[in-house]
Structure 1
Amino acid sequence: MTLLNWDLWGSALSTVPLAALLLIYVTLLPRNSKSSRILPLVDIQDAIVPLSLRVVVVLVAALCVQTVYFGFPRSCIVPTLSLGMAKALSWYFTTQTAQHASWCTVTAIGTFSITSTRNPFTFTSDTHALSHVIASFLALGQIIYMLPKHAKMRSILWGFMLVSLMPYLANLYAVSFQQSSAPDFDYSRQHPVDALMEKAKNDFQRLSQKQSQTYKDAYAEYRRRYSAEPPPGFEAWYQFAASHQSPIIDDFDLIYDTISPFWKISGKEVLAIMGDAQRAPGGELWLCGFSGDSAKTQCSHPSRTDDRHVKLLFDTLSEDLRGTIPDLSFLVSHLDEPRVLIPRPSLGEKKVDSGHFNLTNLSHQPVWDAITKYCPPQTIPSAAKTKRKIETFGLPFVTDLHKAMDLCQHPQYSQMHGLFISPPTFRLIEGLVPILSTGATSTMGDILFPSPAYMEEGFQYDKTHDVEWDDKRNNLYWAGSTTGGFASGDQWRNYHRQRFVELGQNLGVQKHYYLRQRGHIVDRAESPFLNGRSFDVAFSRIFGCQAQACRDQKAYFNSKAWADKDRALQSRLVFDLDGNGISGRYYKLLASKSVPLKQTVLREWHDDRLVPWFHYIPISQGMREVPELVFYLTSTEAGQQRAKEIAEQGRDWFSKAFRQVDMTIYVYRLLLELARLQDPERKAS
């Protein structure tokens, strides 16, 4: 470890294995009964044989215990034996060196071996990689200096400088070659990022300019969009939104999309089914009552007392709404994962059974077939309806976010996300049950509301922890835990977070794709190279797995002992992706001076007001475009400017459209729709 890569918490944790080694040292070494020393003095020549036998016995016992609890190790026997033999020989020559020179020489050799054999392709900065080369040179010089003057071939040892120098130079050449081989896009043949940003700019202008400016316009737009009357209290809602300069007046389609299916049942049926669902064993639902006079919410659960800040969220957002909303009730899911699957009528049926629902516990099980069972048959869009295609040269840049998040159009997602393969919890409710959740897939019918996590202190943006764009590290950062899927066996290799960290750390044998120019032709090129300088990605905690899967992941990934919650703000590019549900850190990243790269399969309440490629960069589930995207945004002048533009645009929009009052405006409108939905006088439509 070098000072350039030093952190207090990580170094403190290193004392744990040190203490364990000291205990083993005291326990295993032979002691002189006449000696009162706590640490026995040892003649390595006399003690090496009995010590070796003891170590072998301990290692065999440890292997047996590990096999009983975790199963047989997955490593191949030949490399394991070869590594053991190499380790044994290294200790043999260590004792020989100490006998003919000194133990100081031995420690210098250990330092050299550690610093010179680190793979420079895995370092996240040039300074870090260079520091290991310099440290190895200094250690080698110390070794040569301490050797006896009469030692044979002493000067030849300087040749070992190549052990660290050659890989470092090879790494520098690979990085330089990648940058020099990038295509020079002109205006007639834009980089996909440029084309997508240009389209997004037009989309955002249309979103901003089309919002209603008067109540009369807002009323007419509601009727035009939904072919229905606005809910009672809509005019007061409009006045509230307009008085607080809401940049969004009309685009609340997610509220309509998630509530309109429940119009099939009457208000009385809505109230009845909510009560039944909340009392269902294992339902994990909070039944909340909202008082219009006090604008306060009270929530109850059959067995829990901690509502995960649901009451706090509604009390905070509705404190200025006293007397504007009638009393009402609503269900809120306690779980991170989406809950509701709304049945489609079978052939010959006129409507769905309104009073019946099924609750199925699919935790730790594949859920794909269950949540996509009502997908319509796949159809090929006609040429007339196909939008103008943006040239992506075979890389899966997200050109249509709605399509990219539509599970029905992507059966391959079934093996690409932990939520679909083995969710930690998944209690599916199939039926017309109106439940509020923080995120839902395209196939599910949860009613979306702002996540209480966005109001928690740990997820708040603090400008004092941010830095200016020019002072940020020119790389992509992410650190987090293995949430998102319960792991057993080898299935974790397909989970979304594990696949991303595997990509960012360039583990295993991977193929990466870049845009390269051959003559005047730009095309996709395959390469095993990934510039480690552009990625700072790691797990800081591995859990939510069976013992064997936890062990295998700890052995496979290069984990961090600890990561500061604001460390991401030191980088220009910041990654965000699903955990068990939505990611609570997203708003902090949007508010920052960095540009968020967002990968998700979950819709949220704010989707109507965010424009991909203008406020943030969407990432596909396969992530094959990430190496080229990160290269373009970090290693080319044009790409760095594009990244800065998106960061500034997202930050500016967040300050205008994601204020606390903007969430209040959304919740206000949502509660009006819920009040109308459960009005006992409302008939089914």
Structure 2
Amino acid sequence: MGPDRGGAHLMALCAVSSFIWLSYSLEKHSLDEKIRLSSFSILFVSSIITFGLSFFSGWLPGATGRFDDDIGPLKVTHVNHPPRPRRYFLPALVACVVARVELFKWVEYDLQCSKPALECLLPLALLSIEFVRHVSPKAEADNEDDMANTVFDDVTAWFLSSKSMLVLSISLPTYGAYLALQPSARSTVFCSAADPKVLVVFSQWISLGLDSAILILAWRILAWTRTTRSRVKTLSYVLHLSAVGVGFIVLLTKLTKTASMASSAALAIKGIDSLYVFDIVVDSFVFSALLISGSLFLCDSTPLNLTCLITCVGGLFAAVHGVLQVGSFTSMSAFKAWFPLLMLCLGFSMFLFHTNQRSIFFIRRSFLVLFLFLLIVGSGIYSFLASKIIREHALHKLIYDRRIGQDRWLRHASISSSLRVAAQEYKERNDGREPPKGFDAWYQFTTDRQSVIIDHFEQTRQDLLPFWGMKPSDLRDSVRALSTEPEMAIVTVKDKAVSHSLPPESPHKQAVEELVGMVKTFVQHLPDMEFAVNLDESPRVLTPWADLQQLINKGKPGKLSLLAQRSLEQVADGVSLRRDAPGPTALDAHHRPHLSPRDFRQMNAITCPPGSEARSGTYWDIRDLCVTCLAPHSREQFLANWDLSTRLCHQPDILKLHDFYLTSPASPPWQDLRPVFSRSKTDAFSDVLIPLPRAGEEKMEEDAGKSLEMKKDSLTWRGKMEQSNPSHSLLRAGHQTRLVHMVNNATSSEKTLILLPSASNGDIWTYERTRTAELNKVLPFDVGFSDCAAGSACDELGGAAPPADPLDSRYVLLTDTARGPPRRTLAALRSTSVPFVASVFREWYSERLAPWLHYVPVDVRLHALHGTLAYFAGLSGRGAVNGRDPRWDAAAADASWIAEQGRRWAGRALRREDAEIYLFRLLLEWGRLVSDQREGMVFRVGDKKEKEKT
């Protein structure tokens, strides 16, 4: 590419940058769940954009006359103009595009069965065609007749015309890009034996052939157009015809589900919102830029040159990113991270010389090759320096740090030594707001019961904060409206007495009566009120971020609240998706339609602030482990911050990896804020947590008679396969089915990253990829479904297991069900077993528990489950791992410490008395919120003194 061809430089730069942008943003867009409709929309909008841009083609090169076939932007030594196209090339090109869309949908549907980075082999697929045309006979003849050539000229001529050098200049960067784009770690989403794995991989190879055909046909068609305007118009026609073909398939597939064309069209556009439309428009503009710039570049070179250029640049970005990850648990080998970059830099340099490109992207070849050389050297040095030696297991440090941190947390949670200090602490922790009326009675109630938690009630503060932005009368009306809802009870406090609304035959009567019994212990200090209790395990209120923040800022104390409210309203008007989002409103409470899992995930996503990962789009690459998603709350491979790990907004992949988000909710949640008191919730929900007893858990007898050493040496989990016909995504990506498959039915190709003692030096730890099935044989797992619905997939998962009490084992794994939090959590904490908790739900006591001190936290991705169990159970004498005995003794002291600390802490901070204290404080706050004299219902220490004098 010569320096005088600035337009060609610009086209190449635009093509490469738009391709990289699309590749990066595609993983975060909301288009993947409607692939056909999204493809139709992008093709159709792009056809309109390209047709419109054809009238401004004068700004592009070649608009005023016939293209010069002899002077291409690559300035290669041969003529690049292809043979004249045939008449059937245009319909063949459209057919290839439509077929490519269909194959992409098929592969994406079973993405966990696909081969990663197979698309990087496209230059090799095109090489066979370019191989025949590469050497110019005229150039060879000229070289033979020129007797004045020097040895350097002969070597240069040989290099430019050698087919072996062509193969090498294409193969090296292609292989480097293939290695660089391999996932650093695979997720635990599995390819079932019932999945067509062979067909999926075969479809990828067919897709590779279709990509080659599309490029060659487009090259043959567009290269014979006379001007840039006609070239861009032809491109718009191809896009339009392709959109028609894809749209026909969309309607055809919907007709199989509905009886009429109108209902098929309505079903096709169901669930489209403003975010989806925005993604379509943006992607269409970028896609148009890619096609136009790529077409202009393609027609003056060859498909091989275009694809190799994109592969080299895209691979370099991926390889540099891989080098920067050296030292993390997914990239411990400096050489493996540096080698793909070496292949890319060498291959890219050879490609530049072999195609005789004097400059590219406005950069001279000599400077670019020098930069690539410096990149090789610099990345090699960085890889060597960034690689680290692990001399201590990460969990040993985590457990030690948690012991130290818990002492600081406990001091912060129990600062108050008197009522005056408690009132001041309340004010400082609640934005300057005074304590509620009756705070003195609550403080006395707390001290009488010797609570270790006096000042830390952050969960209550966060739950009630939005309701300060609502009028008391609206809150009371909302509670009354909830009385007609199913699975809802109304608890009434009136004239120092408490009652509930459940009929005698209700299956939830015992739980509500136990709740009422707790209220009776302090009801004489409560004002009159009503509150609605959700009796279902699933939370019910899912308010969008903009609406919630508007209420929070409106209810802030102080003069700045009005200003904050106005500024937030302006933001909310621009970003709120509430009008477009699916889900029920206050007007259709009794006629709420069935909510699909996709719509439910979307409702969860818009509870995140704009710009967050979960809000900006869906994460569809569930085949690979999302390392960036787990990095904020992890230390190396292991979960370090449990509170952060339950937050959705920085980890959108969780929406595709948990049963709760992969099933339709029994009761579609409300999006307008309602005062619903629930037993548990995820971070996205706005329910108010309440200590509602769960049948069989509060009265569970402690197994103090059995020490940890006396119990069965295993990690035990028992679940229930509730659905007889689980959906495709739920079966392969749900957290319970992933667990059962990973432990009981792992294939020979599945591998797990685990921290092991080094084979050469037992004092050094290294992350190694080990066959999952091999680890399952040596680790003491006892996992399975003890209750399988008829016709369920238990046999396919290898998950049927006899009933067993997990508390009879040393380690008990607690996971969420599809509709609620982990079962028997309190019972496990009160036992002498070590609780392993994998959950995204919170309950009233969650903020009081410390991971690695009271329980062992497990990320719901389950990528570190084997490594975590291996730390506590040990591997010495259990069998060979990677061909050797790791000689890894069990951390029995740490396991005993966690089991004992959890049991003691449950006896100190998770008692019934502690639940009553939590409930007392919560209802004092609620009584103030629903009172018309809200601002006057405050407690001041002076008021206490005046009362004592009286």
TM-score for the superposition, normalised by structure 2 = 0.47
- Where does residue 442 of structure 2 map in the other structure? 237
Structure 1 residue ranges without an equivalent (≥5): 1-72, 79-186, 381-387
Deviation at 1:375, TM superposition (A): 1.0
Q: Decide which of 585, 592, 597 is 1:365's aligned counterpart.
A: 597
Alignment of 1:406-425 (within 5 A): 406-423=647-664, 425=666
CA contact (8 A) 2:697 2:826 kept: no
Counterpart residue identity of residue 571, structure 1: S
Q: What is the CA RMSD across the aligned residues, in angstroms?
A: 3.3
Q: Secondary structure at the match of 1:499?
A: helix
- Where does residue 608 of structure 2 map in the other structure? 375
Using the alignment, how far apart are the partners of 2:794 and 2:572 within structure 1?
51
Q: Decide which of 460, 464, 474 is 1:259's aligned counterpart.
A: 464
CA contact (8 A) 2:814 2:835 kept: yes
- Where does residue 427 of structure 2 map in the other structure? 223
Counterpart residue identity of residue 829, structure 2: L
Q: Secondary structure at the match of 1:479?
A: strand
Structure 2 residue ranges without an equivalent (≥5): 1-192, 199-388, 548-567, 579-584, 614-630, 875-887, 937-950
Deviation at 1:363, TM superposition (A): 5.0
Counterpart residue identity of residue 514, structure 1: I
Q: Secondary structure at the match of 2:442?
A: helix
TM-score for the superposition, normalised by structure 1 = 0.65
- Deviation digits for residues 369-398 of structure 1, max 9, x if unmatched? 111213113469xxxxxxx999944x2x11
Q: Which runs of 4+ in 1 moved over 4 A?
A: 73-76, 349-353, 355-364, 388-393, 483-486, 518-521
Deviation at 1:507, TM superposition (A): 3.1
Counterpart residue identity of residue 369, structure 1: Q
Q: Secondary structure at the match of 1:428?
A: coil
- Where does residue 196 of structure 1 map in the other structure? 398
CA contact (8 A) 1:438 1:604 kept: yes
- Where does residue 718 of structure 2 map in the other structure? 479
CA contact (8 A) 2:721 2:794 kept: no
Alignment of 1:148-163 (within 5 A): none
The answer to whether the aligner puts 1:540 opposite 2:800 as a matched pair is no
The answer to whether the aligner puts 1:314 opposite 2:481 as a matched pair is no
Closer, same or farther: CA 230–390 of 1 in aligned 2, 3 Å: closer
Q: Secondary structure at the match of 2:716?
A: strand
- Where does residue 501 of structure 2 map in the other structure? 299
- Where does residue 557 of structure 1 map in the other structure? 798
The answer to whether the aligner puts 1:582 opposite 2:834 as a matched pair is no
- Deviation digits for residues 168-189 of structure 1, max 9, x if unmatched? xxxxxxxxxxxxxxxxxxx983
Name the stretch that deviates more: 665-674 or 675-684.
675-684
- Where does residue 645 of structure 2 map in the other structure? 404
- Deviation digits for residues 466-508 of structure 1, max 9, x if unmatched? 5211211222011121359982346322111111122232433
- Deviation digits for residues 266-290 of structure 1, max 9, x if unmatched? 11110012222333xx654322213
Q: Secondary structure at the match of 2:653?
A: helix
CA contact (8 A) 1:299 1:307 kept: no
- Which of 1 and 2 has higher RCO (CA within 8 Å, sep 6+)? 1
Using the alignment, how far apart are the partners of 2:522 and 2:495 within structure 1?
8
Closer, same or farther: CA 458–557 of 1 in aligned 2, 3 Å: farther
CA contact (8 A) 2:500 2:516 kept: no
Using the alignment, how far apart are the partners of 1:349 and 1:273 within structure 2?
27
Counterpart residue identity of residue 236, structure 1: A
- Where does residue 623 of structure 1 map in the other structure? 862
Larger radius of gyration: 2
Using the alignment, how far apart are the partners of 1:262 and 1:518 within structure 2?
59
Q: Secondary structure at the match of 1:271?
A: helix
Counterpart residue identity of residue 326, structure 1: P
Q: Secondary structure at the match of 2:639?
A: coil
- Where does residue 104 of structure 2 map in the other structure? none
Deviation at 1:559, TM superposition (A): 1.0
Q: Secondary structure at the match of 1:629?
A: helix
- Where does residue 326 of structure 1 map in the other structure? 527
Deviation at 1:216, TM superposition (A): 1.2
Counterpart residue identity of residue 572, structure 1: R
Closer, same or farther: CA 378–402 of 1 in aligned 2, 3 Å: farther
Q: Decide which of 396, 402, 407 is 1:205's aligned counterpart.
A: 407
The structure with the largest helix share of the pair is: 2
- Deviation digits for residues 76-117 of structure 1, max 9, x if unmatched? 9x9xxxxxxxxxxxxxxxxxxxxxxxxxxxxxxxxxxxxxxx
The answer to whether the aligner puts 1:502 opposite 2:765 as a matched pair is no
The answer to whether the aligner puts 1:522 opposite 2:522 as a matched pair is no
Q: Decide which of 826, 830, 840 is 1:591's aligned counterpart.
A: 830
Using the alignment, how far apart are the partners of 2:424 and 2:685 within structure 1?
29
Deviation at 1:308, TM superposition (A): 5.0
CA contact (8 A) 1:515 1:522 kept: yes
Deviation at 1:242, TM superposition (A): 0.8
- Deviation digits for residues 191-211 of structure 1, max 9, x if unmatched? 111111122112210122231
The answer to whether the aligner puts 1:285 opposite 2:488 as a matched pair is yes
CA contact (8 A) 2:745 2:797 kept: no
The answer to whether the aligner puts 1:658 opposite 2:910 as a matched pair is yes
- Deviation digits for residues 428-467 of structure 1, max 9, x if unmatched? 11112110111111111000012321xx236633235852
The answer to whether the aligner puts 1:273 opposite 2:508 as a matched pair is no
Closer, same or farther: CA 459–542 of 1 in aligned 2, 3 Å: farther
Using the alignment, how far apart are the partners of 1:485 and 1:74 within structure 2?
16
Q: Percent identity?
A: 26
Using the alignment, how far apart are the partners of 2:195 and 2:842 within structure 1?
40
Closer, same or farther: CA 494–202 of 1 in aligned 2, 3 Å: same
CA contact (8 A) 1:363 1:422 kept: no
Closer, same or farther: CA 364–432 of 1 in aligned 2, 3 Å: closer
Counterpart residue identity of residue 601, structure 1: V
Counterpart residue identity of residue 490, structure 2: L
- Where does residue 669 of structure 2 map in the other structure? 428
Counterpart residue identity of residue 202, structure 1: I
Deviation at 1:339, TM superposition (A): 0.9
Q: Secondary structure at the match of 1:340?
A: coil
Using the alignment, how far apart are the partners of 2:747 and 2:721 within structure 1?
19
Using the alignment, how far apart are the partners of 1:616 and 1:309 within structure 2?
29
